[in-house]
Amino acid sequence: MEKTGHQWSPPIWILSLGAGLAPFAVTLVAPAIPSMAIDLNADSNITQLVLTTLLLSIAFGQLIAGPLSDRLGRKPLFLGGAIAYCAAGFGAALSHTIEGIIFFRVIQGFGAAAAVAMSRSIVVDFYGRDRAAGVMSTIIAMMAIIPVFGTALGGMLTDFVGWQGSFWMLALTGLILTYFVNTEIQETHSPEHVFTFKDALAGYAMLLCTAKFLSSALTTAFQTAVFFAMMGFIGYSFERMEISAKEFGVWMATTSVGYILGNLANKRLLKHYRIDVITSVGAAASLTSLIIMEIWHINSPSSPIGLAVPMIFVGLSNGVIIANSIIVASSAVPRLRGSATGLVGAMQMGAGGVSGTIAIWLGADQNTSVGIITLVVISFFSLISAWWSTRLQRI
């Protein structure tokens, strides 16, 4: 129901901050991973779980938060998510073992999942379908800045404060969000139908059996996995080049800059080309960029530019691919758009978490070429999924 005539309206910056908790929790901590492994005398495979468990918690949490908010309302879930995110940040910063940090990251992931899901739900509740798309575009544009800011800030905090600095900053962010959700956000949902988890599972099953949804969702998942797998091992690559965490944060930010440019370019491209064609070309460009990265690295193994420049184009490709494939997947079954959005989000985070762990398990923390080849394989599957989606759109 349209509610824009009411005096109150949800502050966009609060919704953007809530939606940005997930990428901020990843990008802020990524530069601290090598330092954390050394300080806590932890194996790199175990340390990688600091990112992996967060992503898997966000994935699973989104599947729960939506149906639960239909029963309890949006604000309680949003507020609870912010509180959990904040408390987990403090807990991780005060932990003295890698196991303790991983435990609190699970809690932080569930908090981020609730905040992300509620930010989107409040937009749809308040503005209605027609205006929600424009508002969501504004939120996504604001969110795209977070990885740039987060990676650079995470590197500086690690250099000046230690790995704990990133978690203190996450706790502060959660505290700020908690205050403003409590004081500025009003309830936007009064359930008329009690949506059960049985309904949710039935909807998810139908979506997974729908080829148009599955092909685009897999494209989204694989392409997101490229980014998170790269985040998992690239810090070790720069460390072997004797580059500080602060400088690594700056180099890593190039991917996010490319992502912002890709989103801006995508708006223009959609005016002239079909969405499935743009997505397929983007997937091909991503694969090509990673192949170039491997060739460049083989010839100049100590060059940070050899990693950073292709990373810009990988980010550019992601900006074109991810938004488009989410839209196609969410539209595959019109009556299940909400469930489709949640399931795509869960698949994104799940694929990101698993891919990062696989890359480290294969030895990407010790050998950059192993990591890049892993990215090439994942990107190849993204291209296959995009091609499959294109074929289905023409049927």
What's residue 3's pLDDT? 47
153 to 29, 148, 215, 248: CA distances (angstroms): 9, 9, 36, 10
pLDDT (0 to 100) of residue 20: 87
Position 137 scores a pLDDT of 57
Contact 261, 307 (CB under 8 A): no
CA distances from 334 to 188, 248, 288, 337, 391 (A): 22, 43, 34, 5, 20
**Single-letter residue type at 219:** T
Give the dihedral of Cα atoms 117, 12, 318, 303; nearest 10 deg.
Answer: -110
pLDDT one digit per residue (tens) for the chain, 395 residues: 444 445 788 888 898 899 889 888 988 898 888 889 888 888 877 888 898 899 889 988 988 887 777 777 889 999 999 999 999 999 999 999 999 999 999 999 999 999 988 887 787 677 754 455 456 656 766 776 776 677 778 888 988 889 999 999 999 999 999 999 999 988 877 765 556 667 778 878 888 999 999 999 999 999 989 988 887 788 788 888 888 766 777 777 777 788 778 877 877 787 788 888 888 999 999 999 999 999 999 998 888 888 889 988 998 898 888 878 877 787 777 666 667 777 887 888 788 878 888 888 888 888 999 999 999 999 999 999 999 998 887 76
Count CA atoms within 13 Å of residue 341 on its CB side.
Answer: 18
Domains observed in the chain? 10-191 (1.20.1250.20), 196-395 (1.20.1250.20)
**CA dist., res. 24 & res. 2, Å (int):** 31
DSSP-derived letter for residue 332 is S
